[in-house]
Amino acid sequence: MLSGFQQFLLRGNVVDLAVGVVIGAAFGKIVDTFVKGLVTPLIAAIGGQPDFSNLYFTINNSKFLYGELINAIISFLIIAAVIYFLVVLPVNALIARTRNSPAPADPTTRKCPECLSEIPIEAKRCAFCTSDVAPVK
């Protein structure tokens, strides 16, 4: 029973997924710090609010931190843009470049020179007008 679990854990997809999650979490932390340390102060220089995380409203002594939501949305948009431009677009371009279009199939029919009907390539007589047809070389 444990050997099956060990094979599952050591399968390539599970290990790759675990590495991706860890790297994604670290990247998310970097982007959160970037938003709080650089983007929010840059927006504050334009709009006058120094830190979105301090924005809240109160209803019945309950604090609703909508400023944190704004920071999280900005972080999400930055992460989504980075993933799209640095992962999705290059992978799609690579797949499109490596995708081989199938070679066109050899024709199995040809036109009769008399009536212009489609006849098999190996035909010696047209089935529609019964004229003799020269063999294909």
The answer to whether residue 49 scores a pLDDT higher than 80 is no
The residue ranges of every structural domain in the chain are 11-98, 104-137
Q: What is the pTM for the complete model shown? A: 0.51
Percent of the chain scoring above 90 in pLDDT: 9
pLDDT band at 12 (very low <50, low <70, confident <90, very high): low
Q: Which CATH superfamily is domain 11-98 in?
A: Large-conductance mechanosensitive channel, MscL; domain 1 (1.10.1200.120)
pLDDT for residue 99: 80
Q: Specify the residue for token string 């050997």.
A: 3
Task: Compute CA 99 distance to the chain's CA centroid, rounded to the nearest angstrom.
Answer: 15
The answer to whether residue 118 scores a pLDDT higher than 90 is yes
Q: Specify the residue for token string 């790759």.
A: 16
